[in-house]
Chain A
Amino acid sequence: MNVLIYLVPMALALGLTGLASFLWSLKSDQYQDMDGAALRVLDNDDVALDG
């Protein structure tokens, strides 16, 4: 059971990382325009096909 000594903190740290990244994405307004984000990815402007 000694394995728990590092597995448990690791599991918690991973979970907290997930929580922190979700809170970060919330803070940076990534959920403000869910439909728009889905469509913007189709935009070819950054490939400069038609300038």
Chain B
Amino acid sequence: MTETLDLSMFVRRHEGTAHMDLAVEGVGCAGCIRKIEGGLKRLPGVVEARLNFTNRRLAVDWREEELAASDVIAALKDIGYHAHPFEPERAEAEEARHMRWLVKCLAVAGFAAMNIMLLSVSVWSGNAGDMGQETRDFFHWLSALIALPAAAYAGQPFFQSALHAIRARALNMDVPISLGVITALGMSLVETASHAEHAYFDSATMLLFFLLCGRALDHAMRRKTRAVAGNLAALKAEFAHRFDGAELVRVPTVALRVGDRLLVRPGDRVPADGVVLSGISEVDESLVTGETARRAIAAGTNVHAGSVNFSGTLTMRVTAAGTGTLIDEVERLLEKAVTAKSRYVRLADRAARLYAPVVHATAAMTVVGWLAAGASVHDSIVTAIAVLIITCPCALALAIPAVQVVASGALFRAGVILNSGDAIERLSEIDTVIFDKTGTLTLPEPRVDNAASIEPGILEKAARLALSSRHPLATAVAREALERVPFDGAIEEPGEGVRAMIDGLEARLGSPAFCGADAAWDRGDGPGASMIAFSHAGRAVTLVVRQKLRPDAVETAAALRARGLNLIVLSGDRPEAVAPVAVSLGITDWRGGLNPAEKIAAIDALKAQGRRVLMVGDGLNDAPALAAAHVSLSPISAADITQAHADAVFLGERLAPVRDAIALACQARRLMQQNLWLAVIYNAVAVPVAIAGFATPLIAAAAMSGSSILVTLNALRARLSSKQQLVSDAAAVSDQFATESVS
């Protein structure tokens, strides 16, 4: 049967050339750029190949009559790179546009701030010296000429957001910012027209410049994590074998339509929800339900996307998503959980709600106070506006984004990719951690449990022989291979095992009977375990394959407990499979055999007690619970819907990122609060000066830059101390990228 690869959904056509975007694995050095681009350009028909080294993406244009999309991928594979086509998300393009707009605003504000400061410094030193009034007015008018258009352009991000908030009858930090900038400019213009000594054009533009710096950095960090998440999704994307009468076509699972007939081989993941047409097999549904025992299926049975086909080849028909009873229930619960979730009010917005009324009231009282004290209307208003300018929330508005940027960078290095912007703040508030068992506390794929008790040489031979089989048990054994080279001439006997000649003697891997091993296998070794045998040169060993705990699960559980967190295990697997895991982690509070609704009920009960819950889970059955929890994490191996509802995703085989994420979030929270207090102290000092009428533009400029720098430096401490704290480091994460690309 021939097999062709259909990538048409990723190819965009434009004026006779085809275009495709690819995420490329293994790009690590300068030479890679030339190797990939040069290698592709040598292909007939390739018009352009450009590798973006920063986000590891390749854009290829070619003439379709000379080359097929699959040839491009094959050519890359020949050079030594795995490439995965992907469709750039619309959200990503939107963010790129927004980023460009922010940088433009930043450039304009920077230009204006620098030039106005040049003029202002002359005025300040001139005021102390012998500058004439005409020259000072000229400089003020010049500043106005630069500041007004620049602020009108560069202030847009703040003005728009402030308008948006006011329309929604809410207050955010942008409202006082916009008000401060606009009053400062307006007052300066009036003052300039009346030949006054002080104008605040410099403060207004500098404020915009600082705030735009913070905003652009925040956005850049978010884009970076988004790009990595996009690449990982492309790496994970799976292909299905579509069988339309005569030809077997490999298509990306995203391109599947209802009614497609698919072929699912042993060892493949079921690519979509559907109904089995023919074939008898067992499926491992641990990613769907958390259940580790396999389910027998035959023609007419429903199968769910994400389950692994174990023994026999199946044909199935894709049915509309949500036809299975389980999926139905999950979707219904998800919808309920998402709508029931109250909107989280971020620390910055809470600060703004407190701050704005206080500042505006202070300004109003300044006017009243000075009028009562007999000052002129003009002087009273000027002093009040000076109060507004000096309290303008530069430090306050930078206090939280600066920490956010540094903390999400540190999380990224720890292997945690944030999905939602306020996850850090919510993560710092938790007091209870709920773990799912299958795929979260345990590794997502089964491993050889008794590897340590088998002679390394024999294990290595078994593992290399296992590379020749696609059976899931063999795949588990193959993960033990140090050298990933299969033996020549390996023959697979369907339903039995695989055999090959090693050093002139026959070696067999498969069922105990096939290998002549002792078939007396006692099932008392625990549920969920499977056995596979290996024989070579008259010796036979049995390998126990089962879901193993993540390598650092025990330490991580102990560390989390040491932080004073309550640990709970809620699993969809049978209680007798959950108990040993909970016991080995020292978790006394565990429940098994839960369906999605029961998991939500358990979380709601905890919420009712006033607990704040972090849910860590990977299965489809965990998705509603993730949405219902205060904050949620899921491993990168999680089901797609589950990952989409998690606030953050962690990479790697280890559980340490969960602990790091909580530690970093708490530290970030502390720094945010410190920064807010710094801003309060600054105001406590600066406001009386302004109310008294001593705030000159020079003092305003110095105070504003000083407080902004202080707050930013304080935020950078998250970076310094996170380096010492992290359990999982960058090296471990990059290892993970490598291993994920192998498997």
Contact = CB atoms under 8 A, between A and B. Distances in A.
B51 interface: yes
A39 interface: yes
A11 B145 CA distance: 14
A42 B33 CA distance: 11
Nearest to B51: A36
Given A8-B142, A11-B115, A40-B33, A35 B107 contact: no
A43 B115 contact: no
19 contacts: A1-B135, A11-B118, A12-B146, A15-B115, A19-B107, A19-B108, A23-B107, A26-B103, A26-B104, A33-B52, A33-B54, A33-B55, A35-B53, A36-B54, A39-B30, A39-B53, A40-B33, A43-B34, A45-B34
B38 interface: yes
Interface string A29-51: 00111111001101101000000
Contacts of B135: 1, 4
Contacts of A33: 52-55
Contacts of A11: 115, 118
B138 interface: yes
Interface of A: 1, 4, 8, 11-12, 15-16, 18-19, 22-23, 26, 31-36, 39-40, 42-43, 45
Nearest to A9: B142
Contact of A45 (B38, B108, B114): B38
A36 B107 contact: no
B52 A18 contact: no
Interface in B45-94: 51-55
Contacts of A43: 30, 33-34
Interface string B445-487: 0000000000000000000000000000000000000000000
**Chain B contact patch, size range:** 20 to 34
A36 B52 CA distance: 6
Nearest to B138: A4
Interface of B: 29-30, 33-34, 38, 51-55, 100, 103-104, 107-108, 111, 114-115, 118, 132, 135, 138, 142, 146
A47 B308 CA distance: 53
Nearest to A45: B34
Contacts of B30: 39-40, 42-43
A42 B138 CA distance: 50
A16 B146 CA distance: 11
Nearest to A37: B53
Contacts of A19: 107-108, 111
Contacts of B33: 36, 39-40, 43
Contact of A23 (B104, B138, B142): B104
Contacts of B53: 33, 35-36, 39
B54 A22 contact: no
Contacts of A45: 34, 38
Contact of B107 (A26, A34, A40): A26
A12 B103 CA distance: 21
Contacts of A1: 132, 135
A18 B51 contact: no
Nearest to B114: A15
Given A12-B115, A15-B114, A36-B53, 17 more contacts: A4-B138, A11-B118, A16-B111, A19-B107, A19-B108, A22-B107, A26-B104, A26-B107, A31-B103, A36-B52, A36-B54, A39-B29, A39-B33, A39-B53, A40-B30, A42-B30, A43-B30
Contacts of A26: 100, 103-104, 107
A15 B54 contact: no
A25 B114 CA distance: 20
B71 to A, nearest CB: 24
A12 B119 CA distance: 11
A25 B118 CA distance: 25
Contacts of A42: 30
A11 B135 CA distance: 16
A4 B118 CA distance: 13
A15 B103 contact: no
Contacts of B38: 45
A18 B636 CA distance: 44
A33 B33 CA distance: 12
Contacts of B104: 23, 26
A40 B30 CA distance: 7
Contacts of A8: 142
B103 A34 contact: no
Contacts of B142: 8, 12
Contacts of A12: 115, 142, 146
A26 B118 CA distance: 25
B382 to A, nearest CB: 27
Contacts of B29: 39
A34 B142 CA distance: 36
A40 B142 CA distance: 43
A45 B38 CA distance: 10
Contacts of B115: 11-12, 15
A1 B138 CA distance: 12
Nearest to B100: A26
Contacts of A15: 111, 114-115
A33 to B, nearest CB: 4
A3 to B, nearest CB: 12
A43 to B, nearest CB: 5
A27 to B, nearest CB: 8
Contact of A35 (B34, B54, B114): B54
B539 to A, nearest CB: 52
Contacts of A40: 30, 33
